[in-house]
Amino acid sequence: MDESTKTKAIDALNRIMELELAGVVRYTHYSLMVFGYNRIPIVSWLKGNAEEGLLHAHKAGELVTLLGGHPSLKIGELVETLRHDIGDILRESLEHEKKALDGYYELLKIAQQGQSVLLEEYARQMIVQEEFHFDEVNKMLRRPGH
């Protein structure tokens, strides 16, 4: 992989790391704001997403250092919408999952250009996981029969 492509890959991985860390904060916040009859399973699901986001951020950071880069200390965009209805939380989660997917697709493109099997396989695995997360949230927003 040439230096220009390596720099692009490091930048993409740092953006992914920032997005995933923002997800940790978002999902943790959301888990605190759920009320009502379905609180326990939804809070458990949100906490699980926060934990997984931390693992994803760590993996992206490991790849940054593998490429000789410096992991970002930034966190992706955090906007307090003050909307805490379960539907609102899920729609915001869907937006977040879409941004994460976009980040991994961007990394895949860079990995293919740089002919890095390691980064390409990593990006593909993460895309699969994020596609399942996106679909899971999408299904939670749909009404039965739709």
DSSP string, 47-83: HHHHHHHHHHHHHHHHHHHHTT---------------
Residue type, 80: E
Residue 96 inside a domain? The answer is yes
The region that residue 74 occupies, defined by phi over 0 for left and psi between -120 and 50 for alpha, beta otherwise, is: beta
What's the pLDDT at 59? 98
Question: Residue 81 has what pLDDT?
Answer: 84
* Res 146 pLDDT > 80: no
Across the range 100-110, mean pLDDT stands at 97
Split at pLDDT 50, 70, 90, the class of 26 is very high
28-36: average pLDDT:
94
Residue 146 lies in a domain: no
pLDDT of residue 144: 82
The percent of residues above 90 in pLDDT, for the chain, comes to 88
Asked if residue 134 has pLDDT above 90, the reply is: yes
Domain that holds residue 48: 3-71+82-141
Mean pLDDT, residues 105-130 taken together:
96
Which CATH number fits the domain that encloses residue 28? 1.20.1260.10
Q: Give me the long-range contacts of 125-134 (CB less than 8 A, separation at least 24).
A: 126/16, 126/56, 127/101, 130/97, 130/100, 130/101, 130/104, 131/101, 133/49, 133/97, 133/100, 134/94, 134/97, 134/98, 134/101
Task: Work out how many domains the chain is built from and give that number.
Answer: 1
Reported as a pLDDT band with limits 50, 70 and 90, residue 45 is very high
In a domain, 55, yes or no: yes
- Looking at the domain assignment, is residue 76 inside a domain? no
pLDDT in tens, 62-82: 999 999 999 999 999 998 888
Question: Is residue 20 in some structural domain?
Answer: yes
Question: In this structure, is residue 115 part of a structural domain?
Answer: yes
Burial class (CB in 10 A: 0-12, 13-18, 19+), 145: exposed
Q: Could you tell me if residue 36 is inside a domain?
A: yes
Average pLDDT, the chain: 94
Orientation angle between helical segments 117-141 and 86-113, nearest 10 degrees:
160
Dihedral of alpha carbons 29, 142, 52, 66, sign: negative
Dist CA 63 CA 83 (whole Å)? 35
Q: How many CB atoms lie within 10 A of CB 119?
A: 24
